[in-house]
Amino acid sequence: MSDETPMIPLPQPTDLSKPHWEGCREGKLRVQRCGECGHFIFIPRPTCTRCLSEDLEWVESTGRGVLYSHTTVHRPQRPEFQVPYVVAIVELEEGWHMLSNLVDVPPGKIAIGMPVEVTFREMTDEITLPFFRPAPPDR
């Protein structure tokens, strides 16, 4: 963890979400996929949200997508959050959506549909968080 990284409230991994958080520590964005219908499930669930199958596997996402929606927070709910920060919904290449933060871009340069990619930031020895940043133009 860098000295510049603020200590924000961190997730508490469960047995169900452990593969996701282990992947983040390894620099991999993992998501569940249903073996019955192929649907991607995020946030982790014990059954498919489309067909209710329990046949779920963890797969690695490309981590690339587009900005689906966003908002800039100027008044945080907790003082640990440094403002402004951008809360984003990203539509990944595989078709699933993830709520995260958009980093490394000024709020005035953000546009719906802009290409983004996952980036990871180590918060503690146990927790590495996935964020999204603008993708390089050559993508």
The residue-averaged pLDDT of 75-94 equals 94
Q: Specify the residue for token string 């951008």.
A: 86
Name the more confident of 100 and 7.
100
The per-residue pLDDT of the chain, averaged, comes to 94
The Cβ of residue 89 has, within 10 Å, a number of other Cβ atoms equal to: 16
Query: Looking at the predicted structure, is the pLDDT value of residue 14 above 70?
Result: yes
Residue 55, token pair as written in the block: 């046949």
**What is the rounded CA–CA span in Å between residue 119 and residue 130?**
6
> pTM surpassing 0.85?
yes
Residues sharing a CB contact under 8 Å with residue 35, sequence separation 6 or more, in sequence order: 53, 55, 56, 57
Relative to beta strand 40-41, strand 85-92 is unpaired
The residue-averaged pLDDT of 90-115 equals 96
Least confident of 25-29, 49-53, 78-82, 98-102: 78-82
Least confident of 4-8, 27-31, 66-70: 4-8
The residue type found at 42 is F
The Cβ of residue 19 has, within 10 Å, a number of other Cβ atoms equal to: 18
What fold is seen in the domain 18-134? OB fold (Dihydrolipoamide Acetyltransferase, E2P) (2.40.50)
Domain spans, the chain: 18-134
What is the band of 7 on the pLDDT scale with cuts at 50, 70, 90?
confident
Please write the tens of the pLDDT for every residue from 104-124.
Answer: 999 889 999 999 999 999 999
Please write the tens of the pLDDT for every residue from 32-49.
Answer: 999 999 999 999 999 999
pLDDT of 50: 97
pLDDT of 139: 57
The verdict on whether omega for the bond into residue 43 sits within 30 degrees of 0, i.e. cis, is yes
Q: Which of 60, 37, 61 is nearest to 48 (CA)?
A: 37
Residue 138: phi and psi, rounded to 5, are: -80, 0
* Entry field: residues in the chain: 139
